[in-house]
Chains A and B, each alone.
Chain A
Amino acid sequence: MDLVSIFSSIVLVTTIATLVLALAAYFAYKLREWRKPKPAAENKTHIDETFEPIFLKRHMLSDLLHDEHVDNS
Chain B
Amino acid sequence: MKGNFRILLAALFAVAFAAYLLYRLLQSWNSHLTDFLKDNSFVTMITGYLTVFLAILVIRYFILMIFSYLEHLDNIKQYELERAKGEPTPKSEEKLPFITIVVPAYNEGLIIKTAIGSLLELDYPHYEVLVVDDGSTDDTYERAQEMINTSDKCIVTVITKANGGKANALNTGMAHAKGDFILNMDGDSRLSSNTLRDCIRHFDDPKIGAVAGNVKVANRDNVITQVQALEYVEGLALSRKAQSYTRSVNIIPGPLGMFRKNALWQVRGYDDDTFAEDCDLTLKLLFEGWHIVYEPRAIAWVESPSRMIDLLKQRYRWTRGILQAIRKHSWSLWKPHKAGVNGYILWYMLFEGVLWPISNVMGNVFFIWVGIKYGVTLLLAFWWLQLSILDVVAAAYCVIVEKEDTILIAYALLFRVFYLLVVDVAKIFASVEELAGTKMSWGKLEREGKL
What is A's interface to B at a CB cutoff of 8 Å? 3-5, 7-9, 11-12, 14-16, 18-19, 21-23, 25-26, 28-29, 32-33, 38-39, 41-48, 53-56, 58-61, 64, 67-73
Contacts and interface: CB of A to CB of B under 8 A. Distances in A.
11 contacts: A8-B381, A12-B368, A14-B417, A25-B312, A26-B425, A26-B426, A41-B106, A42-B442, A67-B162, A68-B159, A70-B176
B180 interface: no
Contact of A8 (B155, B268, B378, B444): B378
B327 to A, nearest CB: 12
Chain A, interface SS category: helix
B444 to A, nearest CB: 8
A66 B255 CA distance: 29
A19 B421 contact: yes
Contacts of B268: 55-56, 58
B141 to A, nearest CB: 9
The 4 residue pairs across chains A and B that have the minimum distance between CB atoms: A72-B157, A8-B377, A55-B271, A55-B272
Interface string B155-184: 111111111110110011011100000000
A56 B272 CA distance: 8
A28 B158 CA distance: 38
B246 to A, nearest CB: 29
B269 to A, nearest CB: 7
B19 interface: no
A32 B309 contact: yes
B62 interface: no
Contacts of B137: 39, 41
Contacts of B125: none
Interface string B423-439: 01110010000000001
A69 B172 CA distance: 12
